[in-house]
Structure 1
């Protein structure tokens, strides 16, 4: 038997332990798998990114649409009322935010002509003027004595002069009365629902306040509201 030389055995051992070659087909297959997976991940990312962007735009458009509708509704509501009286015009800013129900009722009555020809049937100097249904007593009945004592009145904002209000007493639309304060009133919030403020025509209010009245604080000569004009801007 022929003896194998050590050098030949070493070469045979190296050949057995060496790594086998990777075929071209395997390389192509794995490359194709990597490309497909990369394309799939990219497509998934694009899909969710596009969907998220679309949802955000849709949400913003809905919010914008709601704001436009809300702004339109707000802009349609008159913010001012001009009381045209026999002594001149009185411009009042309406407090929609503070007394929405009363302001809505007031606006509705103005549009129906409720205040057209309404007289001021009580005028208390340095206190209040009242217009409305003369057959109904009204809130000033209990104020006449207090109206003579104005030296120690609270002068906080809620008790200011030239505020527009109506009685808190239960009423129907026919008995809606108007009060314009001519001085600070301590118990204003107890008696009236304030829903506006005179911003122009304070001199007219003071002129009405100066008219002659009888012992029941009723004007001796007829004086009242000719009509009311509603405005969004003045």
Structure 2
């Protein structure tokens, strides 16, 4: 048997130890797998990040935007159309929310159509609604009982603080700065247009009980967001 030379053995040993070559196809497949993994990780991160942002946005909408939208849906003005002309009133939603809500609902149900001004007290107040409202007490008990109180402004709109179930919802419009009526009236608005109409109603002839001798009524009340 022929002996292999040392040099040949060395060359054969080097060939056995040399690493096998990696094919181009394997490199491409490996690169695609790495890219897919990276894309999956990025997509997952982006999804959860966007979800967190969306949840924060919903919370902010719930706290801030929705109340604002609700407020903008509430009419800010009421137009009282009387037989003497129209009176525009700004409603105090922030100060008297429950009263304004009740007033708006009654307007939508036509509660004030045909309501009469049953009390007219010159330089004091005009009242539409039940004849046994607060004005009855003022005329029978005397206005001077309240003269030590803080002054109200003229042309303020209010309703009696008594329960409305039995008598309906009366309307009072002051015609001059008068003694404070907070114990009797919930003020929920003020006249912004039609002061001359209020004064014309105030000047009608009345009997000894401050009841107008000629009928003065409300034709309708409409609600507006702006005037």
What TM-score do you get using the length of structure 2 for normalisation? 0.72
User: Superposition pairs for residues 182-197 of structure 1, below 5 Å?
Assistant: 182-197=175-190
Change (3 A) 1:61 1:171: closer
Indicate if the aligned counterparts of 1:153 and 1:184 stay in contact, CA closer than 8 A: no
Q: 1:119 aligns with which of 112, 116, 120?
A: 116
Tell me whether 1:143 sits opposite 2:123 in the alignment: no
Following superposition, the deviation at residue 219 of structure 1 comes to 0.1
Q: Where do 5+ consecutive residues of structure 1 fail to align?
A: 1-46
Indicate if the aligned counterparts of 2:112 and 2:221 stay in contact, CA closer than 8 A: yes
Q: 1:227 aligns with which of 208, 215, 220?
A: 220
Q: Distance in 2 between matches of 1:95 and 1:84?
A: 19
User: Superposition pairs for residues 1-234 of structure 1, below 5 Å?
Assistant: 55-56=52-53, 58-64=55-61, 67-134=64-131, 137-144=132-139, 146-147=142-143, 154-155=150-151, 159-172=152-165, 175-234=168-227
How many residues align? The count is: 187
Following superposition, the deviation at residue 202 of structure 1 comes to 0.7
Q: Distance in 2 between matches of 1:199 and 1:150?
A: 26
Change (3 A) 1:48 1:186: farther
Indicate if the aligned counterparts of 2:77 and 2:223 stay in contact, CA closer than 8 A: yes
- Farther-moved stretch of structure 1 (194-203 vs 144-153): 144-153
Q: Where do 5+ consecutive residues of structure 2 fail to align?
A: 1-43
Following superposition, the deviation at residue 172 of structure 1 comes to 1.1
What RMSD over aligned residues (CA atoms) do the two structures have, in Å? 2.9
Change (3 A) 1:149 1:64: closer
What TM-score do you get using the length of structure 1 for normalisation? 0.70
